[in-house]
Amino acid sequence: MSEDAPTGFVGVYHADGGPIGELRYLIGHMLGTTHCGLCDVTHSWRRKPEWDAMVARLGIPFELVHLNEMDAATAEAVRLSGSPVVLVRTKTGLRSVLDADDLDRLDGSVSSFERLLCMKVPALRPKSA
């Protein structure tokens, strides 16, 4: 296995988790003061079934975390790249593959997310559904 072959992904929302964090995000989103392109891709009011199907096709772990749920390595990667972000995990560590601008351009589309992720990580080959 190559040093930069993906062993997993970490998607970091631009929001805190837990009841208070989610309420704060919801209010900010409704007022137009808060936005998270990754939230738009993974959720409508609930997690999108298309998201879960896409993750199953990828065949490697895809962790989703909020800003207040990150481990030290993820926090350092987010400090360097900002949030929301999708990080790829390899033998050499974490690196950003989709940034906030990439995620915003997807307009909440899971299929567009999958295409862009596969384009940015050529070693990634989704399994058939």
- pLDDT tens track for 66-113: 999 999 999 999 999 999 999 999 999 999 999 999 999 999 999 999
Predicted local distance difference test score (pLDDT) of residue 125: 65
pLDDT tier, 129 (very low <50, low <70, confident <90, very high otherwise):
very low
Q: With 50 as the cut, is the pLDDT of residue 122 above it?
A: yes
- The contacts of residue 120 (CB under 8 Å, 6+ apart) are 97, 98, 102
Q: What residues does each domain of the chain span?
A: 8-120
- What is the pTM assigned to this prediction? 0.90
- pLDDT tens track for 15-50: 999 999 888 988 888 898 889 999 999 998 899 999
